[in-house]
Structure 1
């Protein structure tokens, strides 16, 4: 047979024609449809499959409905639900979200939810149904929440994002990411929603706990490390690789008034200087999915922002993955922002802007009609579908859609994963005050009073986006203290609740304190969801006086103040009046007010939400089995009246308020150790390619082995646009035995000296720079000036 291919002015079209025709001939010989032929290149398989799809089938690949109602458990078997079968028949959905999720919103519990083995069987059953009961047999993508562990029953629960960030340890985050990826893939899911790279400068906002804090460099480095773990180094063909989804694009964590979803008042230059770099670094590390945010910037909803999603993400950054909306955020273009007169129009706006996937799946179903009405071209849908199919082929789902349920049991929450959770929790505990070196405590102590609403509350250790837990799987502070001593040496009284003022055991707590040698008071907040709380369709909580739970943080729980709620402050003051040494521990999702504790407590620590092993990790620190080295990833304010109070504010220098200093109570990068460190011998040497090697020595001058987190800050002294007074550029967490000296070396590259100039170009402006090295942003030990380049 003779075949003539006419030339065309479109080289890409010509190439695709050649590939398509070639693959048809090759596959015809093998009697295999080209898109099912694993020997062919991914691009050829995608093109062949796309050419066979109807418009309805294409749109189906862009839908990601809620997944937890799509299965039915029948003893040890799991079957597709009738709702799932109808969904596939009516909508051809190519993706599901939160199929394995369990929490009060989904009403999936330990009794009726999926164990790891059942989850694997559920994923297999859904895949089998789709492959065998649809015309083209395209496997499903299953997307799962995974900000600090897979949000499913039986999985490993790590500290929340802000706690992870307090470790300042890229190695630990990469290790945790790999574990989370393994647990997700072994149960048959493919997409991990996380990490959360929102740069947060307002602790009133409800979702601070999910983020890596206030700094773009720390967030970017830790986010990239997490992505490297989740993606197994970026190779989707490996068995435990996931498609990492970065949340939320963009400036979601600085809402006006601290209220979730409100507009972000931030300038274009600030977006490029601070809010975009963490995402770019994580994309460079291998992230292949980005989620939009609910907010708007300068009047444009982020789910309909073509500049962010197409011009910048696609054209400038060359992002090759797909963009997914946040849950029902496409509907929000119409229903919340009022920039579209209907959901149909909102769907067109979102797709045109660059949103590929509709999380929720109710908006994009209308795209078929929009194509028929010529409001959008089918080629725009083809572009989005191509991005989804490319990743399905790259992950090998057409060849290996199923998993082994027994391997899921062995791979999820095993001993090695639990050990990593404890390491992460240990590394996150941050010592803020240690008067007269009261810590570490002597294990020969006679009696300890453990008091407070967070001393023995398992769910308050875990944070939001966490599945139901068996009691034995979560260790509280009380568990940890008892493990170091004996139960006869420990007396526990709750004292009060987080929010409920009717719960009052303060007198009993005081009595216990008087019988003890030291008091450990565990206070703070809670993101523990319960069945008393009502939830919006997006999963955010509805807060009102009729629904009073302990929860004061987590999505939807924005705060007007940062004070301790309920009778917690009353409890602390009563305990302090006993005259017994008082150790205060904050379990929290945001930096709560610590002014009183900073002044009156003998020791003060924060552990954020430390995860399932948090109680043991805190006890390790209290009794000296682990020397604390956590550092603040977000500044602790003195008052909400200061906000924002992040360390890297731009010039000019702040001046004090009438009532208080303008500085934070505890600044970014701060944290104490049981030992002391001395910095010396700062040297800077010019290297090739305009790099500068900065080196210095650190000596452990105290009585304990321990870790230090060395931090390097830079200041551009004179620039064409206003610059931060200091900006973190490099950091390193390192271990030193007592008396040991180590040399630390950082390399500053051209990128570290760049600014966004008046023309919005990234440039280096030659001039004088101040190099600052120290233990925190407000504890600079060594400084010098250099000229660059």
Structure 2
């Protein structure tokens, strides 16, 4: 054999040996993500691909034996037989999951559990693909031992996106160090139907405020790198128009035109996608007859082609099977799976929407192989970009140190303080004097820790939560603070109003804490989606306090139970009364607004709510919260959102057309004046900028915050537009006597409408700018003119 031929054969043999020993491309951390995704897809079987799109309910996937945790048999079977790619709510604890402080996991055990699950997935799958672990994170990670912040409706009442970004950063770190990768939230649905059960999970009725809060959450969750070990993917909910169901029925159909969809309901999602959100969840409802979970126009045309979304979409729990059982747009489960994935729905939250039925759809050629690859590739991309193939594990010691830290608890108190809305304060009834010696604290929400935490909250040790009663006692340790519950939220079978009256008569002031509850209990039955099953109570059966939270839609907005009678009896004593409201939705406040001098709305203020309320009551914190949703006088007025389209509504026979308290309303212990409004438009080719500047002065003797708000009206437009629309806002801190100039820049996007041809344009003509402290308290007003049309380039 010639020498050169022998040498060539040797080189070929060496090359072959090297190729066999070299790691697959998808395991090369230095390779581009897209190349790694494509390499892995090429190695996967159809069954493995389908499995990657199944996100199973996770709390049954670990086994706890004392202080040891391991992967359960159910989990091992799901990995071995179904090739699952993700779990949801593994660390969740609540009555639905039947995980308690005893049977659930503390942060250290949680980290050990997620490590055990990852270890099995990585070591017992053919291609060593790690799991994605998704958790509920709307106002804190819904797991034992984490920090509980105010619910979203309270977060938006701060009108402070920078603070909410800090909060989201803290939530993300607490979740990530326990092994989570995805946080479900924020909820970006506009809440224009207060009877709907999930108002507390939203940021209210306005697209601009919702969008700013959503951006803050996405930035806080995701940070600058998903490989940081302290950040999680943000999943936007619920795509879309979920918060205005007909009759207030959760998940019900909605009727809206395309223009309203794009001008009101979609902008918060678009803003969050622009901010980099990597995941988005579809809604249960249909729009104009097309279910959101099988809507190719929304999931592909709008989300991906128009907005450039690169992340993955996920169903709400059970919504794929709901295409058969609820919407009846598919006759079989494989048809439903095909409708969803072909429309652009990538991931199945449930594990029974895709799974064997998606496999059947592929086999029946209802789903093309490239469609399956597209969905799987989007999910795998997140796993690569989080660095999970290189480092799927977390350090349990870090979880112990970094969850529920003193700094996070203090942050929860600050968010709660900023969220408190002072609705009424006649004759400066507040703040209360710290020299008071006898205080009565009365009401069903005065000392009920779970009633102030909201839905999607894990069980809490009593030491973690400060109630209003405890907050007041801590504030005035030398005072005599008498507590009387008086009545329950809903139950009318037992009450002790006489005890509350006696306490009020002996006190110098009565703080009456009323409202609602989203506190789940172990007696309530739950649907497979986690929503409560609401039924009438049997005779002599104790009634849960829960009147809000998923599934608890209302027919009226009145205070339930004997709360109204309790308040009236206490007021009748003649003792000065302050009402504190703890609740998840706007309620009928007419009587108290007429008969009680001071009203505070704390929504669900979280674990530090008692301290925050006490801080405001006694003047250690000057309130500046603003309503993110209007408060109606009657359900007969609904809807009452401030930015309704023209023509302006008129009054009814029984009452006027105005809400009791309008969007943006909120008082302070300080007084502020607005002056010197100047609006300067600048037009260039294809663009317009409008400079809005004015001065705000604190004319009082104490420092305080003011929320300056700018509203815009398109005076004459080719299509009907809102009476007014919030465009900009800023929370300002001003010392006594201090004056500050505020400057905002409006762009063409702020002035645009969707015209008759469904094109975004700025139409020439006059606009009216108004500036003030709420949508109804507008202090300054001027017109400006735009001479040239501007059309948005798609």
Cα distance per residue 1:78-115 (max 9 Å; x no partner): 11000001111111000000000000000000001011
Question: What's the CA shift for 1:487?
Answer: 6.2
Does 2:669 match 1:674?
yes
- Given that 2:680 and 2:784 are in contact with CA atoms closer than 8 Å, whether structure 1 keeps it comes out as no
In structure 2, what is the equivalent of residue 701 of structure 1?
699
Q: How does 1:272-287 map to 2 (within 5 A)?
A: 272-287=262-277
Q: 1:686 to 1:27 in 2, by over 3 A?
A: farther
Aligned counterpart for 2:644 among listed residues 649, 652, 659: 649
Q: Which residue of 2 aligns with 1:614?
A: 609
Q: Secondary structure at the match of 1:735?
A: strand
Q: Please report how far the alpha carbon of residue 486 of structure 1 lies from its aligned counterpart in structure 2 after TM superposition.
A: 2.0
Aligned ranges 1:518-557 → 2 under 5 Å? 518-546=509-537, 548-557=543-552
From 490, 493, 497, the counterpart of 1:502: 493
Measure how far apart 1:770 and its partner are: 0.1
Q: In the aligned structure 1, how far is the partner of 2:72 from the partner of 2:755? A: 57
Partner of 1:19: none
Partner in structure 1 of residue 368 of structure 2:
377
How much does 1:75 deviate? 2.9
Deviation of 1:156 after TM superposition, in Å, equals 0.6
Give the 5 Å matches for 1:337-736.
337-365=327-355, 366-486=357-477, 488-546=479-537, 548-687=543-682, 689-736=687-734
Return the alpha-carbon distance in structure 2 between the equivalents of residues 287 and 374 of structure 1.
Answer: 32
Supply the distance in 2 between the matched residues of 1:180 and 1:227 (Cα, whole angstroms).
11
Distance, in Å, in 1 between the alignment partners of 2:742 and 2:693 is 5
Distance in 2 (CA, whole Å) between partners of 1:328 and 1:693 is: 48
Query: Is the 1:252–1:295 Cα contact (8 Å) retained in structure 2?
Result: yes
Cα distance in 2 for residues equivalent to 1:131 and 1:108:
27
In structure 2, the partner of 1:14 is none
CA apart distance, 1:28: 3.2
Match of 2:196 among 186, 197, 205: 205
Contact 2:338/2:361 (CA < 8 Å) preserved in 1?
Answer: yes
Task: Tell me if the contact between 1:142 and 1:189 (Cα under 8 Å) persists in the aligned partners.
Answer: yes
1:25-69 deviation line (CA, Å, top 9, x unaligned): 999397211111111111111111110000000001100010000
Shift of 1:265: 1.2
Match of residue 757 from structure 1: 755
Cα distance in structure 2, aligned partners of 1:568 and 1:399:
57
- Cα shift readout 1:685-741 (whole Å, capped 9, x = no counterpart): 334752111111111011221000000000000000000010000000010011110
One of 304, 314, 319 as aligned partner of 1:314: 304
Q: 2:784 aligned with 1:786, yes or no?
A: yes
Question: Is contact 2:715–2:768 with CA below 8 Å preserved after alignment?
Answer: yes
Query: Contact conserved, 2:437 with 2:478, CA < 8 A, in 1?
Result: no
Q: Is the partner of 2:321 in helix, strand or coil?
A: helix
Question: 2:362 & 2:765 partners in 1: Cα distance?
Answer: 55
Map of 2:83 onto structure 1: 92
Secondary structure at the counterpart of residue 241 of structure 2: coil
DSSP-derived class of the 1:425 partner: helix
Question: 1:64 — aligned with what?
Answer: 55
Question: How many residues get paired?
Answer: 765
**CA shift for structure 1 position 488:** 4.7
Unaligned runs of 5+ in 1: 1-23
Mapped to 2, the partners of 1:26 and 1:297 lie a distance apart of 58
Indicate the SS of the match to 1:209: helix
Residue among 93, 104, 108 paired with 1:113: 104
TM-aligned CA distance change 1:25 to 1:227, over 3 Å: farther
How far apart, CA to CA, are the structure 2 residues paired with 1:46 and 1:376? Answer: 20
Question: Structure 1 residues 105 and 27, CA, compared in 2 at 3 Å: closer, same or farther?
Answer: farther
Picking from 128, 131, 135, the partner of 2:119 is 128
The separation in 1 between residues aligned to 2:52 and 2:747, in whole angstroms, is 43
User: Deviations along 1:451-485, whole A, 9 cap, x unmatched?
Assistant: 00000000011000000000010110001110111
* Distance in 2 between residues matched to 1:162 and 1:729, nearest whole Å: 19
Cα separation, 1, equivalents of 2:688 and 2:344: 38
Residue of structure 2 equivalent to 1:323: 313
1:373 Cα deviation from its structure 2 partner: 1.5
Encode CA deviations 1:161-203: one digit per residue, 9 max, x unaligned.
Answer: 0000000001111001101110111001100000000001010
Could you say what secondary structure the match of 2:513 adopts?
strand
What is the DSSP-based 3-state SS (H/G/I as helix, E as strand, rest coil) of the residue aligned with 2:514?
strand
Gaps of 5+ in 2: 1-14, 788-794
Q: 1:206-262 CA deviation, whole Å, 9 max, x = no partner? A: 0000000000000001110111000014x2222212110000001100000000011
Partner of 1:238: 228
